[in-house]
């Protein structure tokens, strides 16, 4: 008897109340859909902030210095990286936890979506956070004369903790993957 036969037999013999409860629990994943929609709205706000900052950069180009331009551009890059993070969470999270997107034949389907799972999502998110933290740290170093040593020290410590956390997650994922492969 195969595992499918066992599943089908159990499905038939389970009580109606148990099936109803299982359906409710499984359907509860749809409660996350409004959260992803909220993140789409947040991304629209970031698009607005990006365009507003870009407009100020273009309009003030003759009045600002090179360091100020660099800070504004780093701010724009920061907004883009946060937007990329939002896309990963919205698309990857929905696909992983709510429902399949069924976009397999779409020419613009992101390559990473074909092998997304909770572990790869965590690692991608950690790497995105490191990138965002790196931009903030670079902005800090450009403005280092305007900040206290205390603030700079804490930003470096937090960035290092992001790096250590990402390495720990990647290592844990590697171990979990090798254990899963050994089981099969």
- Where among 81, 103, 125 does a domain terminate? 103
Average pLDDT of the residues in 13-22: 84
Does 122 share its domain with 60?
A: no
Does 122 share its domain with 68?
A: no
Q: Is the pLDDT of residue 7 over 70?
A: no
| Count of domains observed in the chain | 2
What is the residue-wise DSSP string for 9-64?
HHHHHS-HHHHHHHHHHHHGGGGGHHHHHHHHHHHHHHHHHHHHHHHHHHHTTTTS
| Domain carrying residue 47 | 32-103
Model confidence pLDDT, tens digit, residues 34-54: 999 999 999 999 999 999 999
pLDDT level of residue 156 (50, 70, 90 thresholds): very high
**pTM over cut 0.75:** no
Percentage helix, strand, coil for the chain under 3-state DSSP, each rounded to 5: 85, 0, 15
Q: How far apart are CA 26 and CA 96, in angstroms?
A: 13
- Where among 103, 125, 145 does a domain terminate? 103
């Amino acid at each position: 008897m195969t595992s499918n036969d066992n599943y089908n037999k159990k499905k038939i013999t389970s009580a109606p109340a148990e099936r109803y409860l299982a359906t409710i629990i499984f359907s509860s994943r749809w409660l996350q859909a409004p959260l992803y929609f909220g993140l789409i709205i947040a991304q629209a706000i970031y698009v607005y902030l990006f365009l507003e900052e870009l407009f100020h950069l273009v309009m003030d180009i003759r009045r600002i210095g090179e360091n100020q331009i660099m800070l504004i551009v780093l701010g724009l890059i920061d907004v883009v990286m946060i937007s990329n993070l939002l896309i990963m969470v919205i698309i990857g999270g929905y696909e992983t936890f709510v429902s399949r997107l069924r976009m397999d034949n779409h020419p613009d389907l992101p390559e990473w979506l074909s092998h997304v799972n909770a572990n790869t999502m965590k690692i991608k998110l950690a790497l995105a956070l490191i990138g965002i933290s790196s931009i903030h740290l670079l902005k800090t170093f450009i403005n280092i004369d305007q900040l206290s040593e205390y603030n700079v020290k804490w930003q470096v410590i937090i960035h290092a903790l992001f790096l250590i956390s990402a390495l720990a997650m990647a290592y844990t994922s590697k171990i979990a993957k090798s254990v899963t492969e050994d089981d099969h």
